[in-house]
Every structure is written in C-alpha cells, then in structure tokens.
Amino acid sequence: MPTVYITAPPSEADRIAETLVEDRLAACVNRLSTTSTYRWEGEVHRDDEAVLLAKTTADAYDDLINRVEAIHPYDVPCIERFDEAHVLESFAEWRTESVE
Amino acid sequence: MPTVYITAPPSEADRIAETLVEDRLAACVNRLSTTSTYRWEGEVHRDDEAVLLAKTTADAYDDLINRVEAIHPYDVPCIERFDEAHVLESFAEWRTESVE
Amino acid sequence: MPTVYITAPPSEADRIAETLVEDRLAACVNRLSTTSTYRWEGEVHRDDEAVLLAKTTADAYDDLINRVEAIHPYDVPCIERFDEAHVLESFAEWRTESVE
C-alpha cells in the first residue's frame, strides 16, 4: 500500500491533512515538524515546514495526488510515493474501508 | 533490510521502543513526534502520537511485529514494513549483530 | 528516485544538510528531531538525534553516501536508501536539475 510523502508550509499542513481524510483519499495522515534545506533559483535556503505522511490505497493514489496538487500552495510540491512491503492485515483492512 | 513504521500513544512509545531493543528484535528505534488526523467510526479525529521507526533484519521481522501486536494498546495498530534498497555495509553488519 | 535516511547528532545535522545541498549532492534535505533507543556494546542507550531525509537522484547516490561517510562524526553512521515508487513529475525534474 502507498504512503505518500508530502511537504507543506506549517500554516497549510493541517488543512491539507484534513481535506485528504475528510474526502476519503487517505485513512490517516501523520504530520511531523521539519526544517528543510534546499536549493531554489541557485541559492541555498532553510525553512520550517511540515512533513505529511498520508496512508492510502493503490486505488486512491491518483486521486490523492491530484487533490494535493490542486490545493497545495507551492508550484512544485514534494509529493512522493513509498510502497510498503507489508502491512499488518487488520490495519490494511481499516485503510481500505476508510478510503472507499 | 526492513524499517518498521509503528505509531503509538506518546505515553507508550518509549516502553515499546525499549522492549524491541532490549529483546533484540530491533537494533535501533527512532522516535518522532507526530499529530495524526484519521477517520474512526465515521468521524475525523486528531491526536498527538509518536512514530517509531524500528531498524531490524528480515529474519527478525515476524517476531518483531508479533511482539508489537502483543504489547500495543490499540486494537488496530499501524505496523508497516518498508524495505531499504541499500544500507551502508558497516551499519547493516551492526544491525545484524544487534538482533541476533 | 532515492531518499537517503541519515541519523546524526543534533549539533552536526545542519552542517551535513548544508554540505549536501551546497555541493549539489541533494536537492533538498528534511531535518526531523528524534530520540533514538539503540544497543551499543551490549548496553541499551537513549539519545537525542536528528533524522535527515536527503532527496537525491540515482546518479548522485554513490557520491552522496561517500560524502556523508567522510564528514559524519560516527564510525558506523545510519545511512539507508529508500526508493520512491513514484514522484510528481515537476518535483522529479527540479531534483534532477538541482543535483546536476
């Protein structure tokens, strides 16, 4: 099953997480605080951001990333898919029911 | 090698991490603070939790998840396996020795 | 594309992140705070550390881990590669340009 790794400004992160869960695109979103160091237009920057780890299903993945792109404030958001090699069966069932 | 992603209530997270390392089911557990947004019984909830990232071996994986299920306070805990594509050799050796 | 998972002492983490971005070995590094529980020389320890998640390319991966090994204060640093199953196309392009 896919875990989607998204970064967002701290002020927007809760809104994105809630939208994904309310619209049944993710069963659960874990939000973590991060400091990001990155290159943008030739300069190195450092900013506080949030990492969102959205727990979804293969079927819902395309709709989830389309929704994140639509509501995300960045032109080039970090949206990455990591596939789990195994998930506890009861947790997999709950995820599937939560995004149906 | 597997990294196991587990969420737990903040009050239980250290106990779970210590059990896994003391019982040689993981070489190392990284604990991170998170806020989780999720759907449960039809309602959207938000709670503070901990994310535990347990560094283990393929051989110890089944015993690790059985132990986490046995000591975890949730009926449906988030337990997910992510397989690393590569690990620094000296670190892989230390992990293997630490869980033997 | 590879995300490289590195742990480091809090006092060294920003220096490592900046080196990787300034030297074009990573486009972006997310730094998160963690508490690590681990076994070392037979004893269980607990320490505050940082997790660094370095966003790089397959081509730059070997140079990145060699650089981290060279500048990291630990004899046996945690350096692990996780391959993404999918990355938003515009973000993948930015990563590739940022490490070229």
Q: What is the pLDDT of residue B41?
A: 84
| CATH number where C80 lies | 3.30.70.120
Summarize pLDDT for C11-30 with one digit per residue, the tens: 999 999 999 999 999 999 99
Q: Which has the higher per-residue pLDDT, B41 or C86?
A: C86
Q: Which domain holds residue B58?
A: 2-99
pLDDT digits (tens, 9 = 90+) for A39-76: 988 899 999 999 999 999 999 999 999 999 999 999 99
Predicted pLDDT of residue B50: 98
Instruction: Tell me if residue C90 falls in helix, strand or coil.
Output: helix
Task: Residue A32: name the closest of B30, B66, B25 by CA.
Answer: B30
pLDDT of residue C60: 98
Interchain contact B66–C (C-beta under 8 A): no
Q: Between C49, C76, C82, which is nearest B85 by CB?
A: C82
- The per-residue pLDDT for B53 is 98
State how far residue B17 is from chain A, nearest Cα, in angstroms: 18
Residue B80 to residue A90, Cβ atoms within 8 A: no
Pairing of strands A79-83, B28-40: unpaired
Bridge partners of A80, per DSSP, are A5, C87
The overall average pLDDT reported for chain A is: 97
User: What pLDDT score does A100 carry?
Assistant: 85
Distance CA A37, CA A32 (A): 16
User: CB–CB of A91 and B75 under 8 A?
Assistant: no
Rounded to an integer, the average pLDDT of B6-12 is: 98
Residue C40 has pLDDT above 90, yes or no: no
Query: How many domains does one find in chain B?
Result: 1
ipTM of this model? Answer: 0.97
